[in-house]
Structure 1
Amino acid sequence: MANARELFSLPAGPVDLCFDKNEFMKKTFSVDEFLHENRNAGSLEIIRDDLGLYLKVLRSAMIELINQDYADFVDLSANLIGLDQQIDSIVSPIEKLKEEVLSVRAALEGAMKDISDCLEQKKTLRGFKKSLQSLAKVRAALLKLESLLKPVDDNEREISPTLLERAALEAIQLQFNVKFCGEFLNQEQLDSADHWKNSLLSQMQTYFLKMLEDKDVEGLERCLRIYCTLDECRTAEEVFKAEIVSPYMNRVVSESNLQNSPQGLTGIYNQILDFVSLNMKLLLDLTKKNGKVKGYNFVVNSFWTEVERRMETNMSSIFAPGNPESFYQKYQCTLEFLERIELILEDPDEVANFKAHPQYKSFQVRWNLPVYFQIRFQEIGSNLEKVCTRELDATKFFNQQISASQFNLLQFSIALTCISNCWQEGIYLPQLFHRFIKLTLQLLSRITIWIDIAIMIEPTLPSTEQQQESVSLRLKLLATLYSDVSNLSRKIPQIVNLIHDRAPNHLALSSAQLDDLFFDNKSALATKQNRLQTIIVQELVQASIPFVKQVSDIPRLYRKTNRDVPSRCCQYMEQLLQPGKSFRERYQSMVGDERLKELLVNVYSNLTTSYFQAVEEALISVQKTEESLRRLKNLRDRNFTNQTNTTSSSSTTSTMTDDDKIRLQLQVDVIYYVQEIERIGLARGEIEKLPELVQMVEEATKIRVSSQQQSLVQS
């Protein structure tokens, strides 16, 4: 239908139609969409008229098509006459043929079923035949086993390894043929097979133990091979464990023996390992990787399983973590004991199997390492927590001597001791590496938090005499904190190296990886250092600021006092600089030259800014006062002659006025201030506002003083 629609073309219509005639041939043609798309082409009446015109065109085309193919239509109807009778004539033969085909098909299916039944019957007969043959072999094997093993049961002669080998081969044949006997094998025969197999294993056990007792290497090798032939390697291991290992371990591994042993647990482990050298040497030589017999692991399946079971049942006290020191020693002894067992195994594959053994994992779980760590955590963490919650004794702290090479505050010393304890012998266990490194980070975080608390402490001075000291107890505390924080920061690389040396080898941690773990702690300590430096700067500036205000008192010293020309600085300048000088003298070794310089630059920058403002205000005040006095003088002398004024002016210029003395005193003070700053190794350009201050007083006095002249003015 779709192909016919594609091949069919619509007849052409009038050119002025308001729609496209090809839209009627679309598979998705819809009346609603047609009207919606052509709603702008004209009104509904126009669309209706155009559709009517095109309908007439289609009718005309249809009539023309019928007229063209009329002869073919007539011929088709004529050819169909009599077709029904022809079809009826061939129905009967076709149905008959169908019945014959169905009968042949049924016959073939019957024949195929008979053949299939015969084949199945033949298969069953073959199975019966094979089962009967196997049954015959089973009976023969039972008779053979009876003939081989019965004399041994009657104790008529000693056990012969040759007979055991032959009996083992017959037992294998018996076991193989039993599987194929099917329903022909009765319970009596099954019981007989089990009886002779057990009898063989009993004889093997007797022979195995005798060879062990006689230390007969050749006989022991033949015995192990027979066990391997029977696929009873685990049976040999069980025999050795039950008859040899168990009695020995029952005597050695016990609480009473543990209490009476002079060497304690180490002595027990030595006795256990002595068993290997005394009783297992031949077995290990024969069954090790390069030995003559394969398929055995007496160390794991016989020795270790019995040792572990006895230790869990007879010496459970060693697993108690209540006493951490004793637990640590016992656990370390146990690790050495396990390592010695691994050395006995030698082969890496056997060592891996040993560690994967269920009883090995059970033994490791018995050592409650999380509880041990929790006890250590309480011991170590509580020591630091006690000193961090203890109130700082200001009296003792004020009288103590401060050292730059070691910690001055007990909190920092205890923190470092606690961190060292985490990794020292007797406490640290490699199996708890991740927990101890976490504890180390927690200890550093705790002391870092305490630093914030210590910074907020406002200690009270013990006496009035000490209150008059230039360096307060508060400043001493801050300097001490700063020194201890710096020392702790320098200790972190040592802590990282210590942890790196103590880290388990299988982790393969580099120093850089460990250093990254302490990045946050180092950043926090650096932040605390910067904060302490800022607070120290504030304290020093606050101690000096009150003396800056005395700059405003200089005009009163010279105005109408007839003082001499100033030649040295005012006394307040020494007091102004004293806090910074004292801090430098007392704490330079603690703070360090580089940090001290940075700190003093900040102190003197802040101080110079305030000093600049005070000097500027004093000069402005002097200038205003001078101008006021000049105006008053001009009013008094306005009737004088020009000559008199000239003479007076000349006299005035030849004599230094009070205002000039004030300006000169300010300059002398500034020169002394600059000298003291440069004396401690700071340049003028490093101090904010200092060059502007020097320039301001030089412009006020019209005197520029060189570095050589400064010393002359000061003297």
Structure 2
Amino acid sequence: MSGGEVVSLRDPFQLDRLAEELVTRELLHPRDIDDDDESNHDLPVFEPLSHSNPYLTANAFDIEQFLLSRSHTSLQDLRSELRDYLATLKEELVKLINDDYEAFISLSTDLRGEGVRLNKLKAPLGGLRIQIQHSKAQLQVIQEAIKQKLEKRAILREEKALLHLLLKISESVTRLEGLLLISSPSNDVSEPANDSAISLHSEDLNDDKTRGNQAKHLHRIAAEYTQLLYHASKARADKCIFIDEVQWQIDRIQSTLSSDLDHHFSATLIALTDGTKLSEADKAKLLADLTECLRTYDMLGLWGDAEDVIRRDVVRRFVRKTVYVGALAAPHSPIIPHTPINSTAVAFLSSVPSLPRTPYTPFTAFPLKNSSPHSYILDKSMSPFYYLLEQSDEPLAKLYCQILRFVERDLCRIMDIADKVAVKSFSAARAGTPQLPSFNIDGDEKGFKIMSNVVWDEFGRAIMDELGGVIFSAGKPGVFRKNYEITQAFIRTLEFLSPSVHSVESMRAHTVYIAFERRWQLPVYFQMRWKEIVTKLEDALSNTRVEPTSEKDTAPFVTAQAAAVWMAVASCWSAEIYIPDLSYRFWRLTLQLLSRYKTWLEQSLAGMERAPSAIASSVNPPPSPTSDLPPRSSTPVSNEGSSTDGATFDDASLRQYAATISDIKTMRSCILTLWREQISMMLPEPSNSAEDDLIESEEVLQRSLSSLMAMTPSMSSHIISILTKRCCDALLPVRSIPSQFRAMSNKRMPTEPSHFVSSILRPVKVFFGIDTGAGAGTSLKVDFLPSASGEVFENVCQRYIHYVTAMKKTEESLRRLKRGRKPTFSLFGSSTAGADDEAKDEERIRTQMSLDVEAFGKDAESIGVKWDLSESYRALSTLVEAVDGKPCSLVLLSTVLN
């Protein structure tokens, strides 16, 4: 096969040559793309299938994407294109085989004899493996030896560090014994020294210069001692016997340091609080020593020792002289406070009443959220409770004032300094300062708690032990309430003197405080007050008849019973009786009192109510005028009037119903005012998660008052029924108007209304006291008059229409009887031409009735009735004023009456 034939087989279409010619042409004649604007537009290029097609070279062939990429090609063209590409692949495969066939065939011949050579190469590998393993074993032995030496060196290093630590401990013990002037024992060093060896030279203590630096000296010793404790704890962790040997020396150092610190702290306290007048320099020096001592106590964790010194040297001496069995009967010597009362405090003192209307509520001396709780000292002049104590003339209040002055004068500065020291210590601990390992104290017990563990512990115990039989006795509620109020004011003021929130919380959580609060027999006090309040109320409610009274003591109530209920409710929340811890018991008693008043009203008013049928028969208008009416003789006047007994009973009912409605409304207004101004503020404040408690209490009160108000509609209907009955009784003369005018000898045209018109609505005026002075319903005039007068007016109008309609039917019956003998008489229509007298009488009757109806409407205006808006009054006016001599249509009257 020649070379040209091989090339033709590899490239039958001579594509390589064509490509070379195309490149040569492009290089000789480059195209200028800027000459023609159309060259900027890219025309679709047909790319044939090749090995660079991304869809064919993908790991997973996606036939859908491939078809979408060839969407411009028809299926027949695509099939042809794929077949061409398949042919190209086959051709390239054959080409690859042909190109590498010679090498593939020669591979087998080249590998002949290589097995022997490989075996020769494999022979020395076993020896090399043995040598490598031997070398590895030697390296392992060397590694183990080096590791053992390193471990020994580490142990030696630790032992050396421990020896250095023991040397430090020994040096610290020796140095501390020297600083504390502890003499060496005469006997064996391993035995503890006697107590006589632990002492301070008296000449050093008496020396002013030494004494002036004693506090700082002790503080430095305490710092050294803390390092000793830290080193001892590390050595004890390694179970070093040396620590057990020197532990008695460490204990002796601690005992001596504590004793010296207590001695110096006690001397400083006595110098500050013995009442000796000191210069500012001496006072500043003593305060600096006091601060250093407290810092030392805090560093050592001996907070209880400092509190014991304060209790022993300052507080207990004062307690023994002040709080004893006969302290309330003995005169109290005043203690002048450091901070005088300024002019503002004097003004407040003069403005505080001796007995406030609203009692105090417990106050917690908590600072503002944005301020530090230790940034100031709470002074007694900031507490309003102190002035209540100072104003009181009670011996107990004077005793408490003396205690508060002592605390403010001698202890407030000490508590404030201790609190500041504790704050700095806490901040240092949070910053990462290591804590002392020698004191295993619970976190809640850390820090100074002078207010709870010293002040309140001493005074609380003394008050309970020495004065408990007098203060906590609940046999006399008034005295007990006064003692409780004074004591609570004392405790709140004492909390004002506390330096921080934490001290107040610690004081309230103290066992003596809890025992002190339990000594108050508040349930016994409530039972006695309950008996006192309920007994007075039941005496007032023993009279089961509602009787209005004119006594001024019952104002604004009408009855004495309602006034007694209000006094009972108000007394529950008065300053003389109310105690905050019993708020819910007094709240429950308030609801019970309202329920008792409702029960009493139901029992008292039960005998006053008439049977509904009797009331309906005396008040409701008769049947419609379209129905058949009985003869006039069958309805005697005596049956429609009220007897003397009935009138007396109605008067009593009106007075009692009016008084009851007025008292119920007044009671509701007073109770709601009391709730807004006092009860809602006296009930314990709910937390953010329990605010519904106060809302629920208000809803309970509203339901209780609503049950009382639910009684008023029935009583209002009874009042309207009685007033309607009396007003309708005044309408009886209307039926006799025709007979009166026919019987008159001097028949003239009427110009004034009848005499009975002004008395129709007089019962309403008398009841509400309109133009007649005071009436039974004067107190209901504002709320009850518009609705009651309108309803009574409507009922009277309907009765008026009934009487006029009955008169018309009666006259028509008479006219039918007289028909054939003489001209027919008609009340509202015109008479016949032959009966002029009858026509004139009829005209006079119609004029009189028109005047009466007009006067009736004007009289209704005096009680607030808008007669021009009343359908019944318009029907009545239309009925009595005939148009063209014809009466009103009976259909209209039937509509109004129905």
- Whether TM exceeds 0.5 here: the answer is yes
Question: Do residues 149 (structure 1) and 218 (structure 2) align?
Answer: no
Structure 2: gaps spanning 5 or more residues = 1-58, 64-117, 184-196, 206-210, 273-281, 332-393, 426-446, 611-642, 770-774, 825-830, 888-898
CA distance, structure 1, for counterparts of residue 859 and residue 593 of structure 2: 44
Question: Do residues 335 (structure 1) and 488 (structure 2) align?
Answer: yes
Q: Contact 2:573/2:679 (CA < 8 Å) preserved in 1?
A: no
Alignment partner of 1:622 out of 773, 787, 811: 811
Question: Do residues 129 (structure 1) and 160 (structure 2) align?
Answer: yes
* Deviation, structure 1 residue 695: 1.3
Structure-1 residue corresponding to 2:296? 229
CA distance, structure 1, for counterparts of residue 137 and residue 822 of structure 2: 155
* Deviation, structure 1 residue 237: 1.8
* Deviation, structure 1 residue 693: 0.3
* Deviation, structure 1 residue 179: 0.9
Q: Contact 1:300/1:354 (CA < 8 Å) preserved in 2?
A: yes
CA distance, structure 2, for counterparts of residue 590 and residue 202 of structure 1: 83
> What amino acid is aligned across from residue 126 of structure 1 in structure 2?
R
Structure-1 residue corresponding to 2:530? 378
> 1:2-31 deviations in whole A, cap 9, x for unaligned?
x99999xxxxxxxxxxxxxxxxxxxxxxxx
Q: Return 140-149 or 326-335, whichever deviates more.
A: 140-149
Q: Return 309-318 or 608-617, whichever deviates more.
A: 309-318
Q: Contact 2:173/2:228 (CA < 8 Å) preserved in 1?
A: yes
* Deviation, structure 1 residue 578: 4.1
CA distance, structure 2, for counterparts of residue 624 and residue 4 of structure 1: 118
Alignment partner of 1:249 out of 315, 319, 329: 319
Q: Contact 2:232/2:243 (CA < 8 Å) preserved in 1?
A: no
C-alpha change, 1:649 and 1:692, in structure 2 (3 Å) is closer
* Deviation, structure 1 residue 197: 0.9
CA distance, structure 2, for counterparts of residue 386 and residue 261 of structure 1: 43
Q: Contact 2:650/2:722 (CA < 8 Å) preserved in 1?
A: no
* Deviation, structure 1 residue 473: 0.3
Structure-2 residue corresponding to 1:426? 576
Matched ranges for 1:209-608 at <5 A: 209-215=266-272, 217=283, 218=285, 221-222=288-289, 224-226=291-293, 228-229=295-296, 231=299, 232-250=302-320, 252-254=322-324, 256-258=325-327, 260-261=329-330, 263-276=394-407, 279-280=410-411, 283=414, 287=418, 289=420, 298-317=450-469, 318-345=471-498, 347-349=499-501, 352-353=504-505, 357-359=509-511, 362=514, 365-366=517-518, 368=520, 371=523, 374-375=526-527, 378-379=530-531, 382-383=534-535, 386=538, 389-393=541-545, 397=547, 400-401=549-550, 406-430=556-580, 432=582, 436=586, 439-440=589-590, 443-444=593-594, 446-448=596-598, 450-458=600-608, 468=647, 472-492=651-671, 494-496=673-675, 498-499=677-678, 503=682, 520=703, 527-545=710-728, 557=739, 567=750, 576-585=760-769, 586-587=775-776, 589-593=778-782, 595-608=784-797
* Deviation, structure 1 residue 529: 4.6
> What amino acid is aligned across from residue 661 of structure 2 in structure 1?
Y
Q: Contact 2:173/2:250 (CA < 8 Å) preserved in 1?
A: yes
Q: Contact 1:159/1:203 (CA < 8 Å) preserved in 2?
A: no
> 1:473-532 deviations in whole A, cap 9, x for unaligned?
0111112223323433443564256318965998899xx999976655665565555554
What is the count of residue pairs matched by the alignment? 630
> 1:621-664 deviations in whole A, cap 9, x for unaligned?
323442453367589xxxxxxxxxxxx94331344487767656
C-alpha change, 1:455 and 1:470, in structure 2 (3 Å) is closer
Structure-2 residue corresponding to 1:189? 246
Structure-1 residue corresponding to 2:71? none
* Deviation, structure 1 residue 178: 1.0
Q: Contact 1:381/1:443 (CA < 8 Å) preserved in 2?
A: no
Q: Contact 1:237/1:298 (CA < 8 Å) preserved in 2?
A: yes
* Deviation, structure 1 residue 413: 0.9
Structure-2 residue corresponding to 1:22? none
CA distance, structure 1, for counterparts of residue 608 and residue 226 of structure 2: 93
**Structure with higher helix content:** 1
* Deviation, structure 1 residue 697: 1.0
Q: Give secondary structure in 1 for the equivalent of 2:819.
A: helix
* Deviation, structure 1 residue 445: 5.3
CA distance, structure 1, for counterparts of residue 856 and residue 593 of structure 2: 46
C-alpha change, 1:357 and 1:149, in structure 2 (3 Å) is farther
CA distance, structure 2, for counterparts of residue 564 and residue 258 of structure 1: 103
C-alpha change, 1:477 and 1:227, in structure 2 (3 Å) is closer
Structure-2 residue corresponding to 1:698? 881
CA distance, structure 2, for counterparts of residue 99 and residue 312 of structure 1: 96
CA distance, structure 2, for counterparts of residue 454 and residue 680 of structure 1: 31
Q: Give secondary structure in 1 for the equivalent of 2:571.
A: helix
C-alpha change, 1:649 and 1:304, in structure 2 (3 Å) is closer
C-alpha change, 1:275 and 1:672, in structure 2 (3 Å) is closer
Alignment partner of 1:611 out of 800, 810, 821: 800
Q: Give secondary structure in 1 for the equivalent of 2:835.
A: helix
Structure 1: gaps spanning 5 or more residues = 8-88, 636-647, 705-715
Q: Return 194-203 or 529-538, whichever deviates more.
A: 529-538
Structure-2 residue corresponding to 1:19? none
CA distance, structure 2, for counterparts of residue 407 and residue 316 of structure 1: 44
Structure-1 residue corresponding to 2:853? 670
> What amino acid is aligned across from residue 257 of structure 1 in structure 2?
G
> What amino acid is aligned across from residue 597 of structure 1 in structure 2?
P
Q: Contact 2:768/2:777 (CA < 8 Å) preserved in 1?
A: yes
C-alpha change, 1:576 and 1:338, in structure 2 (3 Å) is same
Taking structure 2 as the reference length, the TM-score comes to 0.56
* Deviation, structure 1 residue 364: 6.5
> 1:363-397 deviations in whole A, cap 9, x for unaligned?
57426586267337624751575167533346xx3
* Deviation, structure 1 residue 541: 1.6
CA distance, structure 2, for counterparts of residue 620 and residue 596 of structure 1: 36
Quick one: percent identity of the two aligned structures? Answer: 20
CA distance, structure 1, for counterparts of residue 719 and residue 131 of structure 2: 120
